[in-house]
Amino acid sequence: QVQLVESGGGSVQAGGSLRLSCVASGFTMSGYYMGWFRQAPGKEREGVAGITSGGITTYADSVEGRFTISRDNAKNTLYLGMGSLNPEVTAVYSCARAIGRPPRPLERNGYISWGQGTQVTVSS
């Protein structure tokens, strides 16, 4: 069975950094496009970043230059490095597996499997 399990979230002061991990099981991650999404209270889930099996990345404008999506296919693990954090990024962050290479990688409809998410809280 397909499973995605996130970890690495927590509370951090503004300006700090975090690195999230997503460990996949039940499938070989190397064959899939993967992404990170987030959902803040009262808001819809939004795409943060996506990455092809070969490492080509896409970022939301709001995180470009500050977040880094990466993958270690040998470990079946996806990562999201987050730097220069501010309270606006507070949300539950989830990783997801897409259908092929989605034409709109930051939109939810292209993904078929989701993790439960990990909470990221940034205080001023």
In three-state secondary structure terms, 31 is helix
Task: Report the distance separating Cα 56 and Cα 25, nearest Å.
Answer: 22
pLDDT of residue 101: 94
37-86 residue pLDDT tens? 999 999 999 999 999 999 999 999 999 999 999 999 999 999 999 999 99
Beta-carbon contacts of 37 under 8 Å, excluding residues fewer than 6 positions away, are 45, 46, 47, 48, 93, 94, 95, 96, 108, 111
Read off the amino acid at residue 103: P
